[in-house]
Structure 1
C-alpha cells in the first residue's frame, strides 16, 4: 500500500470519527434536559409533603427576564399590549424555606358556604316550629343548582350564625338563596322561576313560609352585577418557552419545587400554595401526556404555562410580583424565554404596565366589597 493510500485511509477514518462524534453531540443537545439525581421524583405524583422547598417571597429574586410572557386578561380589562424583549440579567436562587403541605393550600373554614346579599337572592323562610337538621336535609332538592347557578338553604343557629343544616341541630329560622351571577352569566327569568318553585316545594315540606322578592328587580340586579364582573374578570397567563434544548417533566418539576410549588391533583399541573389558608396563588402547567408517559424523562417539553386567577388571590399575596419573579427565575435557570401566546417577548415596561392595571382592578373590586381572594369574589368569578 502506497503512502498516498495510507494517508487517505487515515483521513477517511478521522472524518468518519468526526461525523460519529458530531451526531452524538447533536443527539445529546436535542435530548430533553432531565432532573439531576439530587432532584425530586420526576413522575409528578401528588404527595402530602415536600422537603427543601422555598418561596420567592423568602429569597428576594432579582428582576429581569430574557423574554416575555403572554398577558391574558378577561374581557373589559384593556391595556395589555406586546413590547420589546428584555435583556438577560442574573438571578439569585431563592433561599430555602420550611416544608409545605397540601393541607396548607385550603383553609377548611373557608370552604363553608355562606349566602351573601351582595351576590345572592335571599328568601327568608319562617318556621312555625323548630325543625331538626335531619328533616331539613331530607327535604332538600336533589340538585343544589338552579340552571347554572348554585342554590343553597341555611339555618340560623342559637348564636345567630347561618350554616348549612346539619344533623343534631334544631333551627327556628331558615333562608334559601341562589347566586345572582357567575361566569356562566346573570340569573335570568327562567332560572329565577325555577328557584321559586324549588324554594316553595322545600318550604311546603318543612312547614315554612317563604317571602319572595320581586323577580324583575332581582333579575335586573343580576344583570348589573354580571356586567361589573364581566368588566373586571382577569386571568393572567405567561408562557415560558425553551430557547434551545427541550425540558423533561422532571426537569421542570425540580425547578418548580425549589420555588415552593406542589404537585397538583391533575397530571402536568403544579400549584404555589397561598399563605394563611388562601387558595393557591399560581398554577404551572404543561402537557399532561408528557407527565403520564411511561418514561417522563424522555418526554420533551418546549413550553410551560404560568397562570394567575387574579380575582381569586388576595392582593396582600402580591401575586403578580411573585409571578413576574418566578417567571424570570425559571427563564434564567432553564434557559427559557417568557412570552405571550403568540410568542412575543414581554418588555419590562409592559410588565410594569400590567402591574399598574392590576392595581386599578383591585381598587375597583374593593369598591364593590368584592376584594380579590374573598369568598364572595371566588364565588362570583367561578
Structure 2
C-alpha cells in the first residue's frame, strides 16, 4: 500500500510538472503569434522672496505627460527620436532598468500595460524602446520593439527616491513585466539609494527662487485696474490668479504675485519671481525681470524694494546679477544647465 501511495504521488508530480511546462510553452506561442503582434521586420507661489538667491524654496512636482504622447519639457518638434529618448530616460538623473523581452512587441500592445506604472511616490517613470531599426525611441503606437527600458527619476525638488519607493517599484515592475513577457534587470538598491541622495543634495543646493518687490507709492492698487496694467505689460493671467511672463516658446520667464487672495479688492505690493534653474542663461531671465519691474514702476507709480521695503539700489541689483551668473556656471559644470531638459525635469 505504501509503494502504491508513493507511486501515485510520483505520477501526480510528473503530470503536474508536464502540465506546467505545457502551459508555459502555450503562453509563449500565444505571445509570439497572437493576432495583435506585428512581424519583427515591420518598420515601425504667493510668498514674497528676498531680492537675492533663495536656495531650497522648492515647488511641487508637476504631472508628467501621458506615455502615448511622449513629450519632454523643452523638446522641440523635429528633435530626433533617439535624442528625445535620451531626454526621457537619462542616465544622469534616472535609474535605468532594462526590460528583456521574450519576443518583439508592438507599442500598441505594451502601452496600456506601461500606463499602469507611471509614478512611484512623486518620481515619474518613463519608458523607451529599441525599434527594429536599432534606435531607441519613445514608445509609440505602430512601432515594434526588441528591447524596452524604464527610467525612474531619482530625485525631485522635495525628496530623493527612497528604499520604500524602490521596493514598491521593483514589486510592481515585476508584475507589470510578466504581463508583457519581459524580465526586468533590477539595479542594486544600495547603489541606487546612494546616487539618489547625491542627486537630491545637488537639487536642494540649487533650488533658487529669486524675487524683487514693487511697493505702491500711493494708495493700494485696485485689482481690476492692476490686471489691465499687467496685461498691457505682457503678462498672461492664469486661472489660478497667477501672472506669468511668456518666453515666446510655450514656457514663461518669471511670474508675478499680488500677495493677496483672489477675494481681495486691492493690493499695495507685487512680487516678481524668477525660478532660476528653470530659465536658460541665454534668456537672461533676471535682467528681463528687472526691466519689467522698472517698466511697472513708471506704469503703476511704484518703487522697487527689498524684503524689508527698503529701495533696491542699482548696485544691489548688479551684485545679485553676479550671483546669478555664478549659479549658472555651477549648474553647467554639473552637466545640468539651467533651463535644460534635465533641469526642467528636476526642478519643475
Shorter-chain TM-score above 0.5: yes
User: Are residues 1:170 and 2:144 paired?
Assistant: yes
1:342 maps to which residue? 308
Which runs of 4 or more aligned residues in structure 1 lie more than 6 Å from their structure 2 counterparts after TM superposition? 105-108, 110-113
User: Are the equivalent residues in 2 in contact too, given 1:362–1:371 (CA < 8 A)?
Assistant: yes
Do structure 1's residue 150 and structure 2's residue 120 form an aligned pair? no
Contact kept? 1:131, 1:172, Cα under 8 Å: yes
Which of the numbers 250, 268, 271 marks the counterpart of 1:302?
268
Is the 2:255–2:272 contact (alpha carbons within 8 Å) kept by the matching residues of 1? yes
**Contact kept in structure 1, 2:74 and 2:340, CA below 8 Å:** no
Contact 1:239/1:340 (CA < 8 Å) preserved in 2? yes
Counterpart in the other structure of 2:245: 272
Tell me how far apart the structure 2 counterparts of residues 364 and 132 of structure 1 sit (CA, whole Å): 43
SS at match of 1:185: coil
Deviation, structure 1 residue 265:
3.3
Query: Does the Cα contact within 8 Å between 1:73 and 1:233 map onto a contact in 2?
Result: no
Distance in 1, matches of 2:222 and 2:76, equals: 35
Shift of 1:337: 1.7
Please identify, of 195-204 and 362-371, the stretch whose mean Cα deviation from structure 2 is larger.
195-204
Paired residues for 1:281-360 under 5 Å: 281-286=253-258, 289-290=261-262, 299-360=265-326
The correspondence for 1:125, drawn from 69, 89, 99, is 99
Q: Where does residue 237 of structure 1 map in the other structure?
A: 211
Tell me the distance in 2 between the aligned counterparts of 1:260 and 1:333.
13
**In structure 2, what is the Cα distance between the partners aligned to 1:171 and 1:138?**
15
**Where does structure 2 lack aligned partners over 5 or more consecutive residues?**
1-48, 58-72
Bigger RCO (CA 8 Å, 6+ sep): 1
Superposition deviation, residue 233 in structure 1: 1.4
Going from structure 1 to structure 2, the CA distance change for 1:152 and 1:133 (only over 3 Å counts) comes to: same
What is the correspondence of 1:11-30 to structure 2 with a 5 Å cutoff?
A: none
CA 1:289–1:167: 2 relative to 1, 3 Å: same
In structure 2, the partner of 1:21 is none
CA distance in 2, matches of 1:342, 1:380: 31
- Alignment partners' CA distance in 1, 2:306 and 2:136: 45
* CA displacement 1:233-284 (0-9 Å, x = unmatched): 11112221211122123332333333322222322x2211114x26200112
Secondary structure at the counterpart of residue 200 of structure 1: helix
TM-score of the superposition, structure 1-length normalised? 0.67
CA distance in 2, matches of 1:160, 1:336: 60
Q: What secondary structure sits across from 2:102 in the alignment?
A: strand
State how far apart, in whole Å, the 2-side matches of 1:280 and 1:201 are: 40
Residue 45 of structure 2 is aligned to residue 70 of structure 1: no
Structure-2 separation of matches of 1:246 and 1:161 = 60
Distance 1:143 1:342 in 2: 47
The answer (yes or no) to whether the contact 1:279–1:313 under 8 Å persists in 2 is: no
Which of these residues, 219, 222, 241, is aligned with residue 248 of structure 1?
222
| Conserved 8 A contact 2:211-2:274 | yes
- State how far apart, in whole Å, the 2-side matches of 1:159 and 1:355 are: 48
TM-score by length of 2: 0.73
**1:153 touches 1:165 (CA, 8 Å); kept in 2?**
yes
- SS of the counterpart of 1:197? helix
Give runs of aligned pairs for residues 43-62 of structure 1, distance below 5 A: none
- Change in CA separation of 1:114 and 1:161 when aligned onto 2, cut-off 3 Å: farther
Name the counterpart of 1:83. Answer: none
| Residues 73, 234 of structure 1: 8 Å contact kept | yes
Residue 266 of structure 2 aligns to a residue whose secondary structure is: coil
Contact 1:182 1:380 in 2 (8 A): yes
CA distance in 1, matches of 2:306, 2:89: 38
Once the two structures are superposed, residues 274-316 of structure 1 have per-residue CA deviations (whole angstroms, 9 ceiling, x without a partner) of 14x26200112225755x68xxxxx322122211111111110
Give 3-state SS (helix, strand or coil) of 1:237's partner. Answer: strand
**Structure 1 residue 108: Cα displacement:** 6.6
Whether the 8 Å contact between 1:72 and 1:236 is mirrored in structure 2 is: yes
8 Å contact 1:132–1:169 — kept in the other structure? Answer: yes
